[in-house]
């Protein structure tokens, strides 16, 4: 992406954004005299700043009474959130992107949840529901900006071939059973299998595979219900499963699963579990597999670059603190209220 896509537009455009944001903020009519910060000419209201302080409190060390040990750190964190809020909304505007109806519906749902759970707390801080909604819109703006950069037709569009290569290299699917070498005792406790118990389980799985691979042999689903196998399998039933490299299995074990034959039931004895299954060729069912996980792959691939880009973006925005107003607010803050709700990030 061209570097100027992350730079601020001319003052005229920034003024337009300023007017749009100020019009949305709570208590807009009193902002001129009641702001706590100004970020590139955009005032941050007392309500909005109070929300950012409430968020920052969850990230700083506090004494037994809940009072931050370092008030400067608290103020810096609140300021950083205000900068991110303005920068994200401004850059989304610069990119010509808007929140789709689905994202707006998600914002409404998250706002309703936060207000239902933490509404009394917000009210005591002088924060209204509209302010909570504005912050949640900023969270959604970050997601929308990510897609505006890297998704289809984005400024740094990731080729579909790269996404598919990532998916098929890091996901594997099979249809069968996956059983750990663990035993659940009658009292609910769990322990590792003995070598004898482990051998019995693996032998049972192999016997099932032999039956399933016979010409016109019954499917695993039926075999798992037969008395000969059900008790040993603890009545587990086969199903389609998907595993991820390094998250669900080590790289070496993942490769063994990824190469399972779709035409034949195979038994894989791994370090901590045994699998009996047929492989699934996910390329034959892209709608069921690839497209369901496409967004996850895009985010996993590009999130480090996006976070670095965001830091560059945020660094271009300057905030000026209304020192007297901030100190007055914090001096009157009741830090003994305890819990501090955190933003919902989807």
Tell me the pLDDT of the chain averaged across its residues: 87
Cα separation, 317 vs 315, whole angstroms = 6
Do the Cβ atoms of 334 and 129 come closer than 8 Å? no
pTM of the shown model: 0.78
- How is the chain split into domains, by residue range? 3-159+302-337, 163-285
pLDDT of the residue at 69: 93
Buried b (16+ CB within 10 A) or exposed e, 246-277: eeebeeebbebbbebeeeebbbbbbeebbbbb
**Tokens 């070598």, residue located:** 195
CA–CA separation, 148 and 150 (whole Å)? 6
Would you state the pLDDT for residue 340? 52
List, in order, residues 6 or more apart from 264 with CB less than 8 Å away.
213, 278
Largest CA distance in the chain: 84
Task: Measure the CA–CA gap between 202 and 214, rounded to whole angstroms.
Answer: 19
Backbone φ/ψ region at 66: left (φ over 0), alpha (ψ -120 to 50), beta:
left
128-153: pLDDT as tens digits: 999 999 999 999 999 999 999 999 99
| pLDDT class of 311 with cuts at 50, 70, 90 | very high
- Is pLDDT of 264 > 80? yes
**Confidence at residue 13, expressed as pLDDT on a 0 to 100 scale:** 40
- Please give the Cα distance from 222 to 209 (Å, whole number): 12
Q: What pLDDT is stored for residue 25 in this prediction?
A: 46
The DSSP letter of residue 68 is B
23-37, 71-85, 111-125: least confident range: 23-37
- What mean pLDDT is predicted for residues 23-39? 60
Per-residue pLDDT tens for 216-230?
Answer: 889 999 999 998 888
Q: Please compute the mean of the pLDDT values over residues 28-55 and round it to a whole number.
A: 82
Backbone angles phi, psi at 311, to 5 degrees: -65, -35
Asked if 51 contacts 131 with a C-beta cutoff of 8 angstroms, the reply is yes
Residue from 316, 311, 172 nearest 244 by CA: 172
Which is more confident, 25 or 231?
Answer: 231
Residue 65: what pLDDT? Answer: 85
Residue 289 to residue 283: CA distance in whole angstroms: 8
Spatial distance between the Cα atoms of 268 and 178, rounded to a whole number of angstroms = 9
Mean pLDDT, range 237-257, rounded to an integer: 94
- Residue 237: which of 224, 253, 252, 250 has the closest Cα? 224
> Among candidates 75, 23, 19, 87, which has minimal Cα distance to 49?
75
Name which of 280, 333, 309 is nearest 78 in CA terms.
Answer: 333
Question: What's the Cα-to-Cα distance from 301 to each of 223, 225, 237, rounded to whole Å?
Answer: 41, 42, 34
């Amino acid at each position: 992406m061209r570097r100027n896509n992350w730079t601020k537009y001319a003052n005229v455009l920034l003024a337009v954004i300023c007017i749009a944001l100020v019009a949305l903020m709570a208590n807009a009519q009193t902002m001129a005299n009641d702001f706590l910060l100004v970020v590139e000419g955009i005032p941050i209201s007392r309500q909005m700043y109070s929300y950012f302080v409430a968020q920052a409190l969850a990230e700083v060390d506090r004494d037994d009474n809940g009072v931050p040990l370092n008030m400067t750190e608290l103020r810096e964190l609140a300021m950083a959130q205000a900068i991110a809020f303005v920068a994200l909304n401004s850059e989304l505007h610069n990119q010509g992107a808007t929140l789709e109806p689905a994202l707006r519906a998600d914002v409404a749902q998250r706002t309703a949840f936060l207000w239902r759970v933490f509404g009394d707390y917000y009210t005591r801080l002088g924060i209204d529901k509209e302010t909570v909604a504005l912050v949640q819109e900023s969270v959604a703006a970050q997601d929308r900006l990510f897609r505006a950069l890297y998704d289809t037709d984005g400024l740094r569009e990731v080729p579909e071939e790269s996404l598919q290569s990532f998916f098929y290299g890091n996901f594997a699917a099979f249809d069968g059973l996956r059983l750990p070498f663990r035993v659940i005792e009658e009292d609910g406790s769990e322990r590792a299998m003995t070598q004898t118990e482990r051998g019995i389980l693996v032998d049972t799985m192999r016997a099932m595979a032999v039956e399933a691979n016979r010409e016109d042999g019954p499917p695993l689903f039926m075999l798992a219900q037969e008395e000969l196998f059900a008790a040993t399998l603890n009545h587990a039933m086969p199903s389609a499963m998907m595993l991820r490299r390094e998250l669900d299995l080590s790289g070496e074990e993942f490769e063994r699963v990824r190469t399972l034959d779709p035409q034949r039931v195979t038994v894989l004895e791994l370090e901590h579990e045994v699998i009996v299954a047929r492989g699934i060729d996910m390329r034959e069912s892209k709608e069921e597999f690839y497209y369901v996980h496409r967004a996850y792959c895009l985010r996993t691939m590009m999130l480090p670059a996006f976070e670095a880009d965001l830091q560059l973006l945020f660094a271009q925005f300057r905030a000026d603190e209304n020192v007297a107003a901030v100190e007055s607010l914090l001096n009157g803050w009741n830090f003994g209220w305890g819990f501090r709700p955190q933003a919902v990030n989807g």
